[in-house]
């Protein structure tokens, strides 16, 4: 598998594993302390945080508020910066399914995620930076 194919697999796997709530497996795809900027959706300041803290926050948010999620990657482009570093740009659509007071809703968020991935000494690619920029969001009821 080429480096670009491995990189695409990392990004696609992170989206899929969030939907499957396979939190333990997500740790394999990140460096120990990635830079994360989700300010446009969470309001939290961008920061370098431990991958455990990042994944625990996803576990809490997705597990607490949403009974299901679907993370769609609409476009994924890989640009090799050098043999050990790559930039990935994606267009994404995340659908979060919410149940509230007997009603069900889909909260859809669209935007981009820019990643920097680094190749480890062991030859695997890991996410070292992830910046989410929301372009739009919508909430719609789901018919019973």
Handedness of CA 38, 43, 45, 48 (dihedral sign): negative
The 10s digit of each residue's pLDDT in 97-107 is 998 888 899 99
Backbone φ, ψ for residue 132 (5° rounding): -100, 130
Can you tell me the distance from the alpha carbon of 119 to that of 81, in angstroms, rounded to the nearest whole number?
Answer: 11
What number is the average pLDDT over the span 111-124? 97
Q: What's the CATH number where 30 sits?
A: 3.10.450.50
Q: What is the mean pLDDT of residues 74-92?
A: 97
pLDDT higher than 60, residue 144: no
pTM here is 0.92
Residue 63: per-residue pLDDT: 79
Work out the average pLDDT over 108-130: 97
Q: 4-62: per-residue pLDDT in tens?
A: 999 999 999 999 999 999 999 999 999 999 999 988 887 788 999 999 999 999 898 88
Could you tell me the two tokens for 103? 């009603």
Split into its structural domains, the chain has a count of 1
Which residues span the domain enclosing 51? Answer: 3-141
- Give percent helix, percent strand, percent coil of the chain, each to the nearest 5: 30, 50, 15
Mean pLDDT estimate for the chain: 94
Block residue for tokens 């480096």: 3
Question: Is residue 139 over pLDDT 60?
Answer: yes
pLDDT > 90 fraction of the chain, expressed in percent and rounded: 82
Give, in order, the Cα–Cα distances in Å from 67 to each of 95, 107, 111, 122: 11, 12, 22, 37
Cβ neighbors of 142 (< 8 A, separation 6 or more) are: 97, 104, 105, 106
Residue 65 has pLDDT above 90, yes or no: no
């Amino acid at each position: 598998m080429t480096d670009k194919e491995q990189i695409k697999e990392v990004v696609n796997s992170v989206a899929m594993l969030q939907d499957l709530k396979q939190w333990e497996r997500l740790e394999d795809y990140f460096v120990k302390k990635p830079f994360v900027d989700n300010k446009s959706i969470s309001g939290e300041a961008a920061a370098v945080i431990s991958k455990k803290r990042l994944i625990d926050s996803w576990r809490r948010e997705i597990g607490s508020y949403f009974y299901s999620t679907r993370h769609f990657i609409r476009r994924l482009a890989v640009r090799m910066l050098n043999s050990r570093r790559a930039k990935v740009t994606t267009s994404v659509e995340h659908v979060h399914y919410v149940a509230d007071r007997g009603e069900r809703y889909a909260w859809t968020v669209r935007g981009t995620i820019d990643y920097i991935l680094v190749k480890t000494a062991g030859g695997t690619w890991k996410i070292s930076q992830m910046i989410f920029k929301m372009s739009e969001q919508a909430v719609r009821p789901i018919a019973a």
